[in-house]
């Protein structure tokens, strides 16, 4: 999976598959340590705790922002970045995308800037019923960086 990610970049699916593979490795080690030593009643508790730890870890690392950072780093090394994909991620990715904008290749940067303007600057406030912190922060950052985004989006 690491070879595939290194060659083609990170996506949500690849991140979650990698996390699941890691959890399976933990379960295999736990199985070897408990069941094969005659303590199988401990396996279920360990599996539950490790599964909860994996879910908490995935929430802490902010997958969408991590995907943007990894792909922008690849772009800095001369590899292509899929601007359509990274701009289709959730609002959690916008701070990382704006931070990584200088590292992204010019055509992808233009496309990403255009999509950020369209998706986060022009929509306005949807009201209190659909408010959440990530979207509010994405809108605020897009507004604060509006001038830079417009300059990048109009470069030809």
Q: What is the pLDDT of residues 34-58, one digit of tens each?
A: 988 888 889 999 999 999 999 999 9
Domain membership of residue 102 as a residue range: 64-154
| Separation between Cα atoms, residue 16 and residue 137, nearest integer Å | 25
Residues 22 and 78 occupy one common structural domain: no
Please count the other Cβ atoms lying within 10 Å of the Cβ belonging to residue 114.
17
Same domain membership, residue 68 and residue 55: no
Question: How many domains does the structure of the chain reveal?
Answer: 2
pTM (predicted TM-score) = 0.85
Residues 22 and 83 in one domain: no
Q: Any idea which of 7-11, 39-43, 100-104, 123-127 has the lowest mean pLDDT? A: 123-127
Residues in contact with 30: Cβ distance below 8 Å, sequence separation at least 6, in sequence order: 43, 46, 47, 50
Question: How large a percentage of the chain has pLDDT more than 90?
Answer: 65
Distance CA 15, CA 59 (A): 12
pLDDT at 156 over 60: no
Cα separation of 59 and 37, whole Å? 33
Q: Specify whether 41 is located in the same domain as 105.
A: no
**Which whole number is the average pLDDT over 111-118?**
92
Q: Which of 61, 87, 109 is the last residue of a domain?
A: 61
């Amino acid at each position: 999976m690491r070879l595939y990610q290194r060659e083609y970049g990170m996506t949500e699916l690849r991140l979650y598959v990698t996390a699941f593979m890691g959890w399976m490795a933990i379960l295999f080690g736990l199985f070897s340590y408990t069941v094969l030593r005659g303590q199988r009643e401990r396996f279920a508790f360990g599996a539950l705790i490790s599964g909860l730890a994996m879910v908490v870890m995935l929430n802490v690392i902010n997958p969408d922002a991590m995907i943007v950072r990894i792909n922008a780093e690849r772009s800095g090394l001369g590899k292509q970045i899929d601007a359509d994909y990274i701009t289709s991620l959730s609002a959690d990715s916008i701070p990382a995308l704006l931070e990584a904008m200088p590292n992204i290749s010019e055509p992808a940067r233009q496309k990403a800037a255009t999509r950020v303007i369209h998706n986060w600057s022009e929509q306005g406030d949807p009201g209190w019923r659909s408010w959440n912190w990530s979207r509010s922060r994405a809108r605020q950052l897009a507004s604060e960086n509006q001038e830079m985004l417009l300059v990048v989006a109009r470069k030809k």
